[in-house]
Structure 1
Amino acid sequence: MRLESEVAIITGAAKGMGASHAKRFIAEGAKVVITDVLTTEGEALAAELGPNALFLPLDVTNFAQLEEVVNKTESHFGPVTILVNNAGVDFPEVSIEDLQVAQYEKIIAINQHGTLYGMKAVVPNMKKAGHGAIVNISSLAGIIAANQKIAYTASKFAVRGMTKAAALELGVANIRVNSVHPGFIETDMTRHLISPELEQMFPLKRAGRVDEVTNLVLFLASGESGYCTGTEFIIDGGLNAQ
């Protein structure tokens, strides 16, 4: 019960890694608000997880909606003490010349602005609670650039930088801020890309599992990481070490 008495908001949590985080947080004693633009999936997950879960629809590019989610969370469960900025979007590889301005703006709006808006919305609640942990999901592309993904790389480097800036500012309020940088993780969206040849690229010779990312996010959300802030945590099977 490492998250007993904690109240968490997880964005983009209707399925995939966000849903994995929500399930584990509930199992560890937290009360969790699941947010997503996928209403049907989000409501089904909250119903599955029981009374300690609540689904609220959310577009992270809309700051007013984020403020409303925080207010509803406080009314339902109490002040927010954990935020996992998990919502994100990617695009297929595209050259700088072929990148459409609308594509760039969408990636930045969700990945970068959404992360900032999430932090801005929860800070007053965390100050009220007297402590907080913010976990921003970036990417290995926030450590090393991804070829022909300049917009995605820009957004994920921004998440890394904003994490550090927020940690400097919020430490005095006992609010910790860290970023997580997954490499190739096996999900429903990536499973078809996995091959023996691909797995040979990684020192551990396999793709990562969603539960392994969840273990790291749980550590950063819990008191076990009480002296960790402003740091990037890479989970990539050693790919970045090469």
Structure 2
Amino acid sequence: MGRRSSIIGEKINSNWFDAHATFYGDMRGGATMRGACGYGNLFEQGYGLATTALSTALFNNGGTCGACFEIICVNAPHWCIRNTAIIVTATNLCPPSTHPSANWCNPPLRHFDLSMPMFTRLAYYRAGIIPIKYRRVPCKKHGGVRFQITGNPYFLLVLVYNVGGAGDVSDVKIKGSRTSWIQMSRNWGQNWQTGTPLVGQSLSFLVTTSDRKMLKFVDVAPRNWRFGQNYQASINF
């Protein structure tokens, strides 16, 4: 345990890494709306309280959004709850701070800011901050991958969420029923954009996760799709 590597490109494996963890909110969860990954209501989208904000060193400019981590409390026997582990999905950024007593998320530190219910599964809340070990693990999600479409007829923004397997999406292509495949670019978090007008066409997606696995989602959104709606595929990673 304790082996280190760069988080960028870090794969799902059995290697554990050192970090620290804090918590936000209260036992009801606190900030579960939106965030730097672009997700909306975390309960409605299936993430619930099993989520974490990541420090800059782990966030990777939003590229790690959707990844899943197993976390254990270590080296603090007076605070750690023994023989417990949690699995959380990355849904937000824990931003750097200039305050000397709240700089745990500053580069190059690796840090997880957990919901209070998840933190208190690992340690007594009075600890405030705890040393942990973590590792990337596969994400297990219910149902198919989801695509939420926003924007306007000349600017399409698609949030890709509820992604299993590696969880973090590294590439998205979109295809209208009258177009070839169109490369999308990351707008922010897991929101992907294109300027190609696609209103009135059924939409298909080609999604690649960070482990280079690729799935094709054919005609996920029907021809009469509407902005503000989300559409669920029948398959997942």
Q: Could you say which TM-score interval applies, normalised by the shorter chain?
A: under 0.3
Q: Which has the higher helix share?
A: 1
Q: Which has the higher contact order (CA 8 A, sep 6+)?
A: 2
Higher Cα Rg: structure 1 or 2? 2
> Normalising by structure 1, what TM-score?
0.25
Report the structure, 1 or 2, having the larger strand content: 2
